Amino acid sequence: MSRYAYVNGQYLPLSVAGVHVEDRGYQFADGVYEVVAVANGHAIDEEAHLARLDYSLKEMSLAWPVSKAALKHILKRMVALNRLTNGLLYLQITRGVSRRDHGFPKPGVPPALVVTAKNMKPVSPELLEKGVAVVTMPDLRWKRCDIKSVSLLPNILAKQAAKDMGAYEAWLLDDKGYVTEGSSTNAWIVTDKGEIVTRPLGAPILAGVTRRAILALAKEAGLKPVERPFKPAEALKAKEAFLTSATSWALPITRIDGKPVGDGKPGPMTLRLRALYAQAVEKGL
């Protein structure tokens, strides 16, 4: 089946879709993005993703390329064109096409909008049965990770380093040794007191949409969500650890730097939270 992309007002076959060589996203990584999961043909938590997009745009002094209503229509059309049942929508907004110069272009240059779509297989049952491994490394990213910028080189290097070490993800550590987040996920632990711990929001981490949903679901279920920093040493003493993202939902972590977490098996709290999230998705989160 042919895949289609949306590029600055046109729906094009992916094989011919392209942007100008002087698009500032290509030249400077001067842009922001969102990744929206699709389940049963519907975007998951679309309003939260668009709210985060609005935040990123404002922090980057970037204008919306189209209205929010128009963007929602584009996303819906992309789901239909690509016959997407379960998958991902990727949308990227850059400062547009302009002669290469570090300063912002003169007024009048419109932002550029690209949307692509792809099918996504469910998380492997093996990952849920055995859990995944993470490795820790210094967080070398810029100091505004709360902005979902397309400038992801440090994240890519961390993810590849983890892969080279046989791990699923990298946990990034700040200058004081606290876990900020993963290279593409948020980080969590479950303490022996039943606290579900994740780092509080701020410039060092992205406000994960799935993170937000898991916190809300845990609170609604009468559990103990807590937002505070933690170090790898505490994680290794915890009963459970897990990660969250739009693509992974809640995924158990059973090894950190080669050492087991808890009994080395996916924990009941992680699996419960994943089940609560799956139920919310079915209800139209």
Query: Mean pLDDT throughout 217-245?
Result: 98
- Closest by Cα among 254, 215, 218, 214 to 236: 254
Which of these, 173, 182, 166, lies nearest to 137 by C-alpha position? 173
Rg (CA), the chain: 19
The pLDDT mean for the chain works out to 97
What lies within 8 Å, CB to CB, of 215 at 6+ separation is 198, 225, 227
Q: How far apart are CA 207 and CA 245, in angstroms?
A: 11
239 band by pLDDT with thresholds 50, 70 and 90: very high
Q: What is the pLDDT of residue 2?
A: 76
**CA gap 110, 96 in Å, rounded:** 6
* One-character DSSP codes across 242-277: EEEETTTEEEEEEEETTEESTTSS--HHHHHHHHHH
pLDDT tens figures, 150-196: 999 999 999 999 999 999 999 999 999 999 999 999 999 999 999 99
pLDDT in tens, 24-79: 999 999 999 999 999 999 999 999 999 999 999 999 999 999 999 999 999 999 99
Domain ranges of the chain: 4-119, 125-282
Report yes or no: 11 and 5 within 8 Å, Cβ to Cβ.
yes
pLDDT over 90 (residue 285): no
DSSP per residue, the chain: ---EEEETTEEEETTT----TTBHHHHH--EEEEEEEEETTEETTHHHHHHHHHHHHHHTT---SS-HHHHHHHHHHHHHHTT-SSEEEEEEEES-B--S-SSPPPTTPPPEEEEEEEE-PPPPHHHHHH-EEEEEEE--S-S-TTS-BS--HHHHHHHHHHHHTT-SEEEEE-TTS-EEEESSSEEEEE-TT-EEEEPPPSTTS---HHHHHHHHHHHHTT-EEEE----HHHHHHSSEEEEEETTTEEEEEEEETTEESTTSS--HHHHHHHHHHHHHHHTT-
Please give the pLDDT value at position 172: 98
pLDDT in tens, 209-223: 999 999 999 999 999
* DSSP β-bridge partners for residue 252: 242
Of 68, 76, 148, 231, which residue is the catalytic one?
148
Active site residue 72: no
The pLDDT value recorded for residue 1 is 61
Question: How big is the chain, counted in residues?
Answer: 285
In CATH, what number does 4-119 get?
A: 3.30.470.10
Read off the pTM.
0.95
pLDDT tens digits along 91-141: 999 999 999 999 999 999 999 999 999 999 889 999 999 999 999 999 999
The fourth-level CATH superfamily of domain 125-282 is D-amino Acid Aminotransferase, subunit A, domain 2 (3.20.10.10)
Instruction: Dump pLDDT digits (tens) for 149-161.
Output: 999 999 999 999 9
What share of the chain has pLDDT > 90, as a percent? 98
Beta carbons of 182 and 134 less than 8 angstroms apart: yes
